[in-house]
Structure 1
Amino acid sequence: MNTPFRLDDHPRRPHPLSAPPAGYFEQLPRRVMARVQPAEDAAPALGWLTRLPLPLRTALASTLLLGGFAASLILSVTPTSASATLAAVPQEELVQYLLANDARVTLADLADLSAAAPTTASYLHASPEELQRALDAQPTDDSYL
């Protein structure tokens, strides 16, 4: 349990604090303001911008923002699209990638491919017998039957 604190039990200092120097409180506001205000020679390089009226500064800022956005949009657009880039890849490399990657191409993938870009699936001409043999060679899981 805490002991009660009584201020009367603690005597004051025997000597009072020294008095402030003469005129200290009269000089204090000027000394504080001298420290707070920036020096005149440290003006920013864009001082002319602060002298412009507020509507003109706002218009300049919005123009710079829209110009930057338009420039980044123009510079980021590539002349070739993704489908043109994919069409530039040889078909043999695509087949080798699919075979080496153990990626199973399902009939749904082929159907989406032929519906999206019929020219890219033109090399997939298979007879019904070849398709049946390929389907029979696929492993089946009895849990789905």
Structure 2
Amino acid sequence: MHMKTPFRLDDHPRRPQPPLASPPAGYFDQLPRQIMARVQPEAAHESVTWGWLATLSRPLRTALASVVVLGGFSTAFYLSQPATQTPNLPPATALAAVPEAALIDYLAVNNQLETEDLASLPLPDDNLMAYFLQASPQELEAALGPAPLDEAYY
């Protein structure tokens, strides 16, 4: 194993450097002024139109910003509404304006009655079935059988 020899900086002489020129007289006195003259911030040219906004207080600017945002949302909502609005017509007039084909299509798709719906419908006062069948009550009872006693259909 090799042991590394210790390195001491004092044992090594420094190389001679060429002498530097001395700074001109008063160089360091004038240096800050020269630097500041070169690094001047650009003159802040504020917009004449928005200059009044900088003079407002911070809460007032926040309130103004919220009013502008709310106004933008309400304008967008107002402009997104359909242009033609139907006037409020009575139901009979509005139903008469709907085409008959559209009504038939709607009823064909959505006409699903339950027995509960039929049970709650009021029966007409006059007996229309007797008018159409032209049969006596005895003939109807013989054809249909006795009426069920339980109310399972309701």
Compute the TM-score of the two structures, normalised by the length of structure 1.
0.39
Which structure has the bigger radius of gyration?
2
Compute the TM-score of the two structures, normalised by the length of structure 2.
0.38
Return the structure number with greater relative CO, CA threshold 8 A, min gap 6: 2
